[in-house]
A = this chain, B = another copy of it.
């Protein structure tokens, strides 16, 4: 009771503490109450939570306590919202005509509310478990179909991080296609500046030479050119016929990459029809807010020929165990988690949620609706051009355009200043050049306002409306799109709000998310994504900022960046942060590039060896490979720790060329390695830098820190430890923190210069990592509010409870499954591995069988066969209640009993409840039941399922079939029938 002596007695006074606001956040995020903490610690053999923690986290790396200069106590939920409103009010959202890959758009409200603001969509995990992910898999297949239809190329992936990195991935593909034999990549100067800079930065690692060239000057005479990148329409708006250009390139054996614009492609001849080999771009303007730079989905389309070189996740059609079409991620063997340094790319987390939004935008508008929007945008641009010509105060360029008008003038900056007074942003290309880009939200009134701005004080003797009838389409007839697109019924059915609403909900109902149950994926930290954290993301003052708006208009964002940078420095023990990398893998790449720049700055051009333990995540070697590093593997010992003697030997052997060690802490095995100090010292002693993979920060915050441990640089997966929801496979953010000596090298940006936060004294940026200056700025409020509401104590408690929860589960499970690795005192960190390898022999059971059977219990399987094949890695996080942990343990224990039945010969090795899992309703309710086990037991193996059950929608999906019969776009009904016939034949 708040009253010192309970309300019942005579003298009852109240404490000031009890009068503080009551809507505190940590108790909503952290699960276990103090009483539960003690009960759970005791069950693990410790007197208290703190003694469990003391026994778990090595003393040598334990920090005293963490203290923030701001928000140390933690704001309450309502205080947080108020603070965010204050920040929001400091952003001045001007009308943007800047273009450059970012356009204002109307997010259809039904999509806003039912996807972007809906935890049923945004808390989903990447669809590795296909049978409980058919909803978003369908939506991503729609996305791939949208991309292939509009680009005119037959294959697309399910999103990349942004247009700039997509172009860089395409560049890498060209290099690969030509087997690394031609080392020049040409970029036409009509590409966006950020695209050019990202490719330049990226080229280094592949030892590619980038030549930026005027289109007309492009030449392949050197014979050393692997590819050429052009933009269509160009960054300054021009719409050119690339027919001859492509022919010429192909004649020289050069691959053509085209960066393009989806809206333009609804009316322009598609790149595929010019013969482009690879097409990239952003789907942002399809209903995804600009968000001061992101997140949005980029795309990459190519031909089937290059499918094995395609970066990123691809959704494909396969069949399930009943022979019915079912979707899944295709050709995973290309990806870093399998191929490691030989992977096509380091990309892991992508932009699934945003790809889904863009796909649904296309579903809602349909081909006709999209074309109407495009024609309107083009029409308004035509009116602007006609009006400016009439006005005569500036000179309008003569080339055909789609949405962007290029203007020559005597003082571009002066005009931009006038525009700013009208709360309008123009793009100043140079002192005599302005471009004006239109979008879906542009109105006739906007055009009138522009006339006024360009009239320079003179009266405008016409209106936009009055000019319209005289305006002609500016698209040359040869470039007008003739080919149909989006003819599939999905793009032609859901054009009313009710129809789309129901389509969204039908898909959602097929997908398990954190709204249903815990998703205890080791290494992924699927914790609570609290509503208060999510709310500011869709506020217009954050969502509608153009990333290249003058920074003084974005004071709210800038203040948040500066606060967040400082908070993250405190959390990590670093001196400066870059918020540019927009995924964990991008952070790794950026971090290694920082190390590389550092060595280069010291003349150490030869330092290019990167030591990586075999237990590292696939992105680590893939990222190192992208930096041109030579990878040296070191093994682990029986306890799962890095083999220190081996590491020492490797470091000493490569002493002269040692660049870096990549190390995850606690280890990917879920253990706090006691030798981490020593490991850091070995690397430093041999001239290397320590890169720490921060994916496991959830076991560090407030207890230790990368900086304290001795790392020089580290990325944070804000979508793990810092509450950005996984969105079914993205978005994420991978900011990097560095020690002081590395701060000067943090990435910058060609349009809006950036660097470390707090800013170091001098800067020597490594180049550009992401298309937007601060990456996916729109989702930074999530991590920011999380930290600010938790305060230092709440965050530290979170780490402790995350560790407690893992140990509690390990304890409950250890009598049923071997727990693979433990620390010195027998405890695990925030995650742990159970070993299923034995069951292969005793019962023919594989980890996959257990994961699929878990679906029948209403759960998403843990991380499977990584980092150790044949195992499951479980990470409960601090947000899961004891009741939920118990339910999950009960399920696993019950499954262990099911395995025992096979072991004992009571169940058939090939035909048992595990091999038959998951069991969808179509099977369970079929008239014929031919399984040797009971229907009821298949469906309801645990009591809670009677009260509420999540149903898998397909039988087990066949991975091999799908990869053999690759289909990555929507099937028409007739194709569906063929597919099914073929599969059952």
Contacts and interface: CB of A to CB of B under 8 A. Distances in A.
A18 B535 CA distance: 35
A514 to B, nearest CB: 7
Interface string A188-215: 0000000000000000000000000000
5 contacts: A8-B480, A31-B498, A509-B948, A921-B949, A926-B935
Contacts of A267: 7
Contact of A375 (B1, B880, B939, B940): B1
Interface in A462-490: 464-465, 468-473, 475, 477, 480, 482
Contacts of A9: 477
Contact of A2 (B376, B472, B514): B376
A741 interface: no
A879 interface: yes
A884 B498 contact: yes
A502 interface: yes
A964 interface: no
A103 B439 CA distance: 44
A475 B7 CA distance: 8
Given A7-B473, A531-B497, A948-B506, A20 B77 contact: no
A528 interface: yes
A789 to B, nearest CB: 11
Nearest to A481: B7
Contacts of A482: 8
A934 B470 CA distance: 68
A109 interface: yes
Interface stretch (A56-64, A219-227, A440-448, A757-765): A440-448
Given A110-B531, A498-B879, A531-B497, A477 B13 contact: no
Nearest to A940: B925
Contact of A496 (B27, B946, B948, B949): B27
A915 interface: no
Contacts of A113: 117, 119, 531, 534-535
Contacts of A946: 922
A499 interface: yes
Interface in A90-107: 106
A760 to B, nearest CB: 38
A921 B515 CA distance: 21
A473 B922 contact: no
A827 to B, nearest CB: 24
A925 B922 contact: no
A16 interface: yes
A529 to B, nearest CB: 9
A376 B517 CA distance: 34
Q: Which of A375, A382, A534 has the most CB of B within 10 A?
A: A375
Contact of A22 (B21, B109, B440): B440
A382 B14 CA distance: 9
A880 B468 CA distance: 36
Contacts of A925: 921, 924-925, 935-936, 938-940
Interface in A102-131: 106, 108-110, 112-114, 117-120
A497 B7 contact: no
Contacts of A440: 22-23
A469 B16 contact: yes
Interface string A206-244: 000000000000000000000000000000000000000
Given A13-B469, A475-B7, A881-B499, A936 B926 contact: yes
Given A22-B440, A372-B22, A925-B935, A497 B883 contact: no
B924 A383 contact: no
A829 B465 CA distance: 42
A203 B711 CA distance: 78
4 smallest CB-CB distances across A and B, nearest first, come from A109-B531, A14-B379, A2-B375, A12-B473
A939 B939 CA distance: 15
Q: Which of A78, A369, A440, A505 has the most CB of B within 10 A?
A: A505
Contacts of A505: 120, 515-516
B120 A379 contact: no
Given A16-B469, A117-B117, 13 more contacts: A3-B375, A7-B267, A18-B372, A19-B444, A20-B444, A22-B372, A22-B373, A28-B496, A30-B496, A77-B106, A109-B532, A922-B940, A926-B935
A943 B227 CA distance: 50
A852 interface: no
Interface residues of A, number: 109
A380 interface: yes
Given A106-B23, A371-B1, A936-B925, A468 B376 contact: no
A7 B879 CA distance: 56
B22 A496 contact: no
Interface string A509-520: 110001111100
A530 interface: yes
A109 B497 contact: no
Nearest to A2: B375
Contacts of A496: 27-31, 528, 879, 881
A970 to B, nearest CB: 14
B924 A530 contact: no
A646 B514 CA distance: 63
A601 to B, nearest CB: 46
A694 B719 CA distance: 52
A19 B531 contact: no
Contacts of A465: 16, 19
Contacts of A926: 935-936
A480 to B, nearest CB: 5
Contacts of A31: 496, 498-499
Contacts of A509: 948
A528 B495 CA distance: 13
Interface in A19-52: 19-23, 27-31
A859 to B, nearest CB: 12
Q: Which of A22, A29, A936 has the most CB of B within 10 A?
A: A22
A371 B120 CA distance: 32
A12 B476 CA distance: 11
Contacts of A480: 7-8
B530 A514 contact: no
Given A106-B78, A516-B505, A498 B443 contact: no
Contacts of A11: 472
Contacts of A379: 2-3, 14, 18-19
